[in-house]
Amino acid sequence: MTNGNMAIAVHFRALTDPRIERTKKHLLLDVVVLAICAVICGAEGWEEIEEFGRQKQAWLKRLLKLPHGIPSHDTIARVFRRLKPQQFQECFLSWTKALEHELGLEQVAIDGKTLRRSFDRAAAKNALHLVSAWTTRNRFVVGQQAVDGKSNEITAIPELLRLLDLKGAIVTLDAMGCQKAIARHVIDAEADYVLAVKENQPSLHAAVHEHFLALHETDFARGGVRHHVTRSTDHGRVVERHYYLCPVPHSPAWNPIRAAWPGLRSIGQVVTLTQYRDGHETSGVRYYISSLSPKVKRFAQAVRSHWAIENSLHWVLDVSFEEDASRIRKDHGPENFALLRRLATSMIGRDTSPGSIRRKRKRAAWNNTALLNILTA
């Protein structure tokens, strides 16, 4: 089997080699596929990618051409430091779109994450902040967008959404993404949104808060409120969540809000009550706006599924891939290595064998068949 037979390699054929002709001792596709395999198996830097290649060289020759053996870590680093992130992502998106065509996009969660040690003081370079799009049902990354800082997520999110075919999907975002322009983009893409509302939209937050306060005071005697309750037990605590959803009010005070927010059809409240084993209790309230019709179970599922991007992606990247500890800092290296991690996470997530992400990575490192199964899934 050669890399030309692997579906993942097919999508990276279009990459433009950033090296000058006289330095092209190793094939670009060989370097990229080697890096993907190594990151799946636990490599956390350029040196470890080289080491993985040398330890697996005999087996890798079944997949790669390797006309001059395994490239050095300096060569691997130069390639990924110079490789244009936009073009690398276009190849990544080519792969995810093939999966989208097969599996569909039911819900896309958008959230940001900072790579804490990617800053470079010598080059006056801030830590890299990435906004990722995650399919909550099929559990793979469908895109990422780099931004200068968390405050610029507002401009990065529309750029990320433009890369995706969102038709028929539900897009969920936290309060940073609760922006009229983002709502417009989702509606224009023939999708729906569920947006968290906080004090960064003060008039909207106050209106939603006051409306639900009035509804609670009248014991929901009016307003067409739908109510759904879930209970779960986890780590010695009992969590009870109350989901409330109602149509956007038809009062004069709400007319400007209805006009300002494209597609707005419903507003929601989630009340969380947590009881700990020692008897201690906590509570929390969150508010949402949505283009969905007032079907509370669908709303509850969208809200709950959005948290998967923290648990199934960001937590995995920090704990299993140690992303926050990475000291890759030079040029395009941090962004491209971040995409390698997200690609590896998505590929491992497609593997149906038992075990955690960490266990699957070890299994792939120890067992060539397990690695090949992940590559061809």
Q: What is the largest CA-CA distance in the chain?
A: 78
Instruction: Calculate what percentage of the chain has a pLDDT beyond 70.
Output: 94
The verdict on 75 and 100 lying in the same domain is no
- Does 294 reside within a domain? yes
The verdict on 151 and 237 lying in the same domain is yes
The verdict on 41 and 180 lying in the same domain is no
- Domain's final residue, options 313, 343, 362: 313
Residue 120 is predicted with a pLDDT of 64
Residue 4 is predicted with a pLDDT of 46
Residue pair 133/164 in contact (Cβ under 8 Å)? The answer is: yes
DSSP state of 19: S
Q: What is the pLDDT of residues 186-229, one digit of tens each?
A: 999 999 999 999 999 999 999 999 999 999 998 887 778 999 99
CATH of the domain at 286: 3.90.350
Residue pair 94/8 in contact (Cβ under 8 Å)? The answer is: no
- Does 78 reside within a domain? yes
**3-state class (DSSP) for residue 25:** coil
Distance CA 290, CA 293 (A): 8
Q: What is the pLDDT of residues 153-191, one digit of tens each?
A: 888 899 999 988 899 999 999 999 999 999 999 999 999
Listed in sequence order, the residues at least 6 apart from 65 whose beta carbon sits closer than 8 Å to its beta carbon are 2, 3, 27, 30
- Does 321 reside within a domain? no
The verdict on 272 and 180 lying in the same domain is yes
The verdict on 45 and 167 lying in the same domain is no
The verdict on 15 and 151 lying in the same domain is no
Helix/strand number for the chain, H first, E second: 16, 9
The verdict on 338 and 246 lying in the same domain is no
Distance CA 170, CA 122 (A): 42
Distance CA 154, CA 152 (A): 5
The verdict on 346 and 299 lying in the same domain is no
Report residue 170: phi and psi, to 5°. -105, 125
Residue 134, phi-psi category: left (phi > 0), alpha (psi -120 to 50), beta (remainder): beta
- Low-confidence stretches of the chain (pLDDT < 50) are 1, 4-5
- Does 114 reside within a domain? yes
Residue pair 145/159 in contact (Cβ under 8 Å)? The answer is: yes
Listed in sequence order, the residues at least 6 apart from 301 whose beta carbon sits closer than 8 Å to its beta carbon are none
- Does 323 reside within a domain? no
The verdict on 192 and 244 lying in the same domain is yes
The verdict on 147 and 15 lying in the same domain is no
Distance CA 117, CA 330 (A): 12
Number of domains into which the chain is organized: 2
Q: Which domain holds residue 303?
A: 96-313
Residue pair 268/255 in contact (Cβ under 8 Å)? The answer is: no
